[in-house]
Amino acid sequence: MPDESLHLDVNEQIECAHTLASRFYIDPTILEIERSKIFRRTWQLVGTLQQACGEVNGIKRTIADAETFFTTELAGEPIVVVRDKHGMLRAFSNVCRHRAGPIAQGSGCKNVLRCGYHGWTYALDGRLIGTPDVEGVEFFDRSTMGMVPLRVETWEQFIFVNFDAQAEPLTAFLGNIPQQARGFQFEGLQSAERRNYVIECNWKVYVDNYLEGYHIPIAHPGLMREINYAEYRTETFRYYSQQFAPIRAMKSGDGERLYAPGPGLQEALYFWIFPNLMVNIYPDNVSTNLILPISQEKTLTVFEWFFHDAASSQSKERIRKAVEFSDEVQQEDIGLCESVQRGLRSATYDRGRYSVRRENGVHHFHMLLREFLERAAGV
Which residue is nearest to Fe ion, using beta carbons? 333
Q: Least distance to Fe ion from the beta carbon of 15, Å?
A: 24
CA distance 41 to 95: 19
Binding segment for ligand FES among 117-125, 133-141, 240-248, 359-367 (CB under 6 A)? Answer: 117-125
Q: Considering only residues 316-375, where is the footprint of Fe ion by CB under 5 A? A: 333
Asked if 246 touches ligand FES (CB under 6 A), the answer is no
Cα dist. 223→211, 261, 288, 373 in Å? 15, 16, 18, 35
List the single partner that 99 binds among Fe ion, ligand FES, none, CB under 5 to 8 Å by kind: ligand FES
Binding segment for ligand FES among 13-21, 62-70, 92-100, 218-226 (CB under 6 A)? Answer: 92-100
- How many residues in the shown chain lie near ligand FES by CB under 6 A? 10
Among 14, 91, 104, 115, binds ligand FES (CB under 6 A): 115
Ranges assigned E (strand) in the chain = 44-48, 52-56, 59-62, 68-74, 77-83, 89-93, 107-109, 112-114, 121-123, 128-130, 149-155, 158-162, 190-199, 233-236, 240-244, 269-273, 277-281, 285-295, 298-307
- How many residues in the shown chain lie near Fe ion by CB under 5 A? 1
Q: Least distance to ligand FES from the beta carbon of 147, Å?
A: 11
Residue 118 or 308: the one with the smaller Cβ distance to ligand FES is 118
CA-wise closest residue to 171 among 158, 183, 189: 158
List the single partner that 98 binds among ligand FES, Fe ion, none, CB under 5 to 8 Å by kind: ligand FES
SS (H, E, C) 87-98: CCEEEEECECCC
CA distance 113 to 115: 6
**Under 8 Å between Cβ of 178 and 155:** yes
Among 101, 175, 261, 283, binds ligand FES (CB under 6 A): 101
List the single partner that 208 binds among ligand FES, Fe ion, none, CB under 5 to 8 Å by kind: none
Among 16, 117, 134, 182, binds ligand FES (CB under 6 A): 117
Strand partners, 69: 82, 108
The residues binding Fe ion (CB under 5 A) are 333
